[in-house]
Structure 1
Amino acid sequence: MLNWDHIFATRSSRMRASEIRELLKLLDRPDIISFAGGIPDPELFPDAEFKAAYAEIFGGPAVSAALQYSVSEGYRPLREWLAKQMAALGIPATVDNIFITSGSQQALDYLGKLFLSPKDTALVTWPTYLGALQAFNAYEPAYDQLNPGGNRTPEAYRQQAAEAGGRVKFAYLSADFANPTGETVDRAGRERVLDLAEELDVAVIEDAAYQSLRYDGEAIPPILALEIARKGDINSARTIYCGSFSKTLAPGLRVGWVCASEAVIRKLVLMKQAADLHSSTINQMAICTVAERGFDEQVAKIHKVYKHRRSAMLAALERYMPADVTWTKPEGGMFVWVTLPKGTDGAALLAKSIQTAKVAFVPGRAFFADGSGENTLRLSFSCANDKMIEEGIRRLGDLIRGEVAEAA
């Protein structure tokens, strides 16, 4: 068999299979209770609304445009609707500040390509979204820990980046109900990130995939909104807001967006022209139709269901987890982050859980750029009903209790 390794680019050595994608295969096993997939519940998709939207497109004069090549920036009516949504979040924007992507994952890939030269440093939280690490890894960066609540000096970041052979290029974070922890960065932490970015003269990539999924507490302005309040104009801002319809309307249509300075948008448009020309026009048109007619109602529907499941999971964790296990208490999103006693290996626990307890989750190590976090795991409640949550957390608690006792 041909050995391709010496032909592949060096960046290919940093490409790794997603542990989460592999775990999603377990969703097809009826004997497994899965808290692994961080995916929306398909029962909540607005399928009737999409059926009507596509029927209208195919039944009218818009079908020709829907099936034709289109502009790389994205479908203008959708960008106009998104500009209004951004304004409601405190982000005054025009269509020229909005760029449509094939899901927010494509935005992360493009931004990695745009900013990272080999050996440059990306600041990410510990832990962080696994998909971001996968997107950035192809551009051969170094990583350093971003801690919005910390007091590390800009000079310390500069020095470590120089030792790695490059310079800091951006700070990446999910400020609302982050994947994987479910945690939210408070306003003071967001302001500190902006201060750090100003000192380092770097971009801020704000991953807002879960921003719409708040169930409790007071909303906090997006980082981009806070920066615009400081500077008065989005085109003077260094924050790049990445949004998605995957968690609210439908992930399979692969429609996301970037809201940023026109200078950044222009570069992203050039990248898209070279990569895939434009996102699916017909899917953008359908998303726009469904969003215009009932986005708020759809969000309210999923809020009710996910809030209940979040609360059910937190209550089950209280009932069944050993005293030395801790977890986050998210105000929104899809995830609860569990920290096990020191010395417990989440990956080994998963292997045993699949065989005995028949419960799936995601071991936490994959979310750490430095490979730490072995005693952590991520639980998703979005696709789990009350019975699954009660039984699955009970089994998992029994398994962890047995592992802790055995280690002692």
Structure 2
Amino acid sequence: MQREEIDAPAGRAQGRSVLPGLAVWAFFLTFSGQGIRNVVGWTPFGIIAAISGIALYAAFRLEGHRIVWRALPTAICAYCLWCVASIAWTQFPNETLLASALMVATTAAGILLACALSLRQLTVALGRSLEATIALSLALEAYVALFLKHPLIPLYMRGWESVPISYFWSEDRLLQGGPIQGIVGNRNPLAFIALLALICVVVRWRDRQISRSHLVVWSSLSVLTLALTRSATVTVAAVICAILAVVLWWLRHVPREQRYQAILRTAAACLLIGLMALLFRQDLAMLLNRSSDLSGRAIIWERVIDLWKQHSILGWGWVMYWQPWLPVFQTLVVRPDGTPTMSAHNAYLEALFQTGIVGFVLILAVVLLLLARTGRLALRYLDSAPSVLLPLLVSAALAIQALTESRLLSEGNWMVACAIGTWLGLHRLTVKEAERAIRTRIGEDPRQ
């Protein structure tokens, strides 16, 4: 297969397209939505998101694109439908109805983008949106540190009598070396955004899409943001992604007939390293300057599991983020500033708690299928198309972050997973059609 077959979308309208620009906005809106909410509030943000979704769908239809239903990722679509189905048994009817609508919209956005844009276009759109987030985040932190000189609260909270520390937009820690929170108001999502931006810029440079100066500037800013956020989970994810990239680079220099054995040896070594990390997890936590209970997450997980046992098969009902006004969450795990915790801080446990064993199995299938299929594709095109490394590295980062954060199941992380899953399906169909065409030509050639 050639590079063009990897990069081609399902069908593209001729002429100038607005979808690449809308894709940048869609990724920015879903990854950096909290920054917009901190400015305008929740209701105006909902209106902005709804208008953006309508604009994306309208552009998709007007430019002549189509959804290739056979290419849709089965596990991802099944989990989305399962979340919607939980309306029938949920303990939180109103919240589940709203969360289900958001899940459908986010899933649809990822599918539409994958059906309309090539892999290169998706990479460019994702990269530009993340770069914008990093630039705005560093600018915000610099403004707070140099001019405001005290913590900044979300603008829509200015009328509140008091604002809890965990709701601060920026804690004014840039000059202290961090951790900074950026426009997203949280260091862990900002760190993950920086990691994805670093992956995008390196892959685009290897694919000769950007200049060396672009690589130097944005990789430097991404690494700086990673350092200033001090996120242990994302640090681990960055190390694993770096190791994965090095292994893939090494495999390119291994003769084809020896690669299978090299892959087996590498997999065995990775398994051994993983087991050692599990055995020495307390030492690893100390090395990363974290407590052995992962900054209190162990307590959250224990209480979430206790709740899950009450509705083990179907779960409590899909709510996405934990709404603080719901009694079950108000006192489940209270943070030092008196506010309730907003998530399970583990996407797999979150799925188990909200959507039961069925949802847990589906999410596990989503992650494993993404890793398996992107890994197989990366190995298949190892010698010809650097751009195909992006789905694997991003999928690996998503899977690792999901161990300590629930964001895989919502907003930007979920939209990226949907886009990658759909693109994989489209690529599979493209390959099958190419192989069928080759067989047809051979069959029609009387000399064969």
TM-score under structure 2 length normalisation: 0.29
More helix by percentage: 2
More strand by percentage: 1
TM-score under structure 1 length normalisation: 0.31
